[in-house]
Structure 1
């Protein structure tokens, strides 16, 4: 089966516009497109920029091969003029934007794509597909990291997502502060640390629970995690310690009233001398369930469905809009979807203590820079060539510092205003 290249991961109408613009002579007009969100998902106080590193790699490989061109011609998506143009497509423009791991708010110009109309508009679907998905996952994951209060999290949602989305979600969750992923492709592609031991099926395979534990320990050693809730949890814990001894690294519980069970399990482990054995809990956890377990003796959380689906907000709500043509601001004026024309520059303002107070966005100009201001945009692609990007670990640390910088109210899980206001300075 033919695997589509990045160029065909797009919408039909992008190529309709390219074909028409080539015919009427507007395809080469110099344009600026911006990516922003008009509002945050309900209940959220900040967004997280994620996926930019993936996007730059995809733009680098954005090409139409002969099979693509043949398909587009046969199906009437493009005419001969459009096909010739697509056959030679190479993005030669610039991409600038907020750092991966940066926080964003309504109106933040998080990505700017500039070049000819045709070469920029054809990237729209790809840009939004990557950023909307990864930013949604990263924002949900960041809220879970905050709720975990320093306890480790493992992303384990691969089976709840499209196979490629699962890899991207694992990367985004790691960016947000998760410690591990269960997804091996994410480990291979992005060096995200992986973890995993056994499922209930492995216990059921054996004649009894003890035999399953003995097999796992014989293979992996005492630094493994035993799943103890296939049958009776208390007996499962007793069997685990009998087999592995009090040096067992961890037990995992995947069902039941986790608050009550965690307390009972800690007491039982301690009574068996396994005072250093950790307790890992999983089972449809989201940020609210994690926060509810804050006072319980839990050492690590496993999150699956909620994190890979954005915990109720599966898209970041980002849009890609034309804001400038040949240096002239252009504005969409519809009542519900108005835009602000002109290429924008943004700074984040901070108190001397480092606490963020405001984001200032200036259309068609340069912000009045003050002490403790931080310029938010950086270059990703210059004249079609990608620049050296931060590593995923550097972006992860950038997000950690950003979350430290916002007022504490901005970290609340309850609904409220954005963590800091965005002020747009009149042009």
Structure 2
């Protein structure tokens, strides 16, 4: 396994200030009260799926591990905290030595989840665990939202190829994270070179309308592209007249033309016409790529069209209407001291209505029916029932502050395909509905 398989982590800056001020002020108060070292358990979960969604997708776990590993305060950060009087001198001194030394368990990346699923369990002292709240949630909420949208688009595509091309529609760093999450959710390639470099995701790209408009004629533009990139390139055919462009493309590249891309118009109608024209011109192996504000619904509507590849941008990197998963990070158990022998006491915030949650250090398992299809997400505290021991979902990610579960991105991608295929068939429906699995507490 080489470094490219795991993602290039060189030059990763400290993540210590990717947090909210109250995380640090809680540490200050706990240090003064003598409670900062109390053994604690925090869990990340969501109380509900985005409206109408039938399952969620865990993504960002690998980035969380990087963030935890790089969560430390350098001299410049400490000076900022001191000069701005964010916390007192004692707390600054404590932060100077901060390194997470606890344990983290969680759903492996690519797994599906449901309301209440304990996606991440962070154990250690109160102070070291509470500091990680914001950075963990910011990563999981963003990446899981993108992966869920990607998964729905992948299901709608029915095996056809998908290109992630949303870099220009979001923040430059979010674009890289989005490409990674989309790959986990089922996309095949990305247009973003930073994502390709950092995570070894296959990259693609040829030309835009500007390249055609640069030249004196469409023929000149096509000739220049084929001369440079070869006959297997993809030519953009909707700058002027699509029919004329397809004819010119095949004249220049011959039947070896790799693909034509359509970026506007009635994609269903135009794709059929282009396919017929390509076949008549002898370019029977030339693929058709469609782009233009696609989402899972548009992809599904093109199921009957002779489309080979979909390129998706805006709707993907914004979670197709749901840019966050509403995950929370809650203290669910704590001891009265740092002593490992001191029993953990379940704790829970007393809330009314939708903000209610359950205390206690939880395990999770997925129960299958007689046909091997998932039928329930089972969550409990204490001993795991014997029949569910082999179906537990959480895996060890960090032990004693050391990451123990890094894996190639392909593993998360393959895991998601397997997890999604193990759900009831109704999980693939795009119509609004309830979570496809009930959450059962035992």
User: TM above 0.5, one fold?
Assistant: yes
1:293-330 CA deviation, whole Å, 9 max, x = no partner? 00110000000001111000000111000000110000
Measured after TM superposition, the shift of residue 177 of structure 1 is 1.1
1:348 and 1:373 in contact (8 A); partners too:
no
1:360 and 1:367 in contact (8 A); partners too:
no
Report the equivalent of 1:399: 416
2:59 & 2:265 partners in 1: Cα distance? 34
Measured after TM superposition, the shift of residue 354 of structure 1 is 2.1
Report the equivalent of 1:319: 328
Do structure 1's residue 12 and structure 2's residue 21 form an aligned pair?
yes
2:229 & 2:371 partners in 1: Cα distance? 48
1:197-230 CA deviation, whole Å, 9 max, x = no partner? 0011111111111111111111110111001111
Report the equivalent of 2:358: 340
Alignment of 1:178-189 (within 5 A): 178-189=187-198
Change (3 A) 1:22 1:412: same
1:200 & 1:370 partners in 2: Cα distance? 59
Report the equivalent of 1:384: 401
Report the equivalent of 1:416: 433
Measured after TM superposition, the shift of residue 360 of structure 1 is 0.7
Report the equivalent of 1:44: 53
Alignment of 1:63-102 (within 5 A): 63-102=72-111
1:11-55 CA deviation, whole Å, 9 max, x = no partner? 111111111111111111110000000000011000000000111
1:374 & 1:158 partners in 2: Cα distance? 38
2:32 & 2:88 partners in 1: Cα distance? 10
Alignment of 1:3-402 (within 5 A): 5-326=14-335, 327-336=344-353, 337-363=355-381, 365-370=382-387, 373-402=390-419
Measured after TM superposition, the shift of residue 421 of structure 1 is 0.8
Number of residue pairs matched?
422
Partner SS for 2:397 = strand
Measured after TM superposition, the shift of residue 374 of structure 1 is 1.4
1:30 and 1:117 in contact (8 A); partners too:
yes
Measured after TM superposition, the shift of residue 366 of structure 1 is 2.2
1:352 and 1:372 in contact (8 A); partners too:
no
Partner SS for 2:212 = helix
Partner SS for 1:321 = strand
1:346 and 1:359 in contact (8 A); partners too:
yes
1:37 and 1:316 in contact (8 A); partners too:
yes
1:419 & 1:160 partners in 2: Cα distance? 31
1:85 & 1:372 partners in 2: Cα distance? 40
Change (3 A) 1:236 1:369: farther
Report the equivalent of 2:341: none
Measured after TM superposition, the shift of residue 350 of structure 1 is 1.1
Q: Unaligned 5+ residue runs, structure 1?
A: none
1:388 & 1:45 partners in 2: Cα distance? 28
1:153 and 1:178 in contact (8 A); partners too:
yes
1:28 and 1:118 in contact (8 A); partners too:
yes
1:351 and 1:372 in contact (8 A); partners too:
no
Partner SS for 1:226 = strand
Report the equivalent of 2:9: none
1:328-387 CA deviation, whole Å, 9 max, x = no partner? 000111103111010100111112432101111012x12213279511000100010000
Report the equivalent of 2:340: none
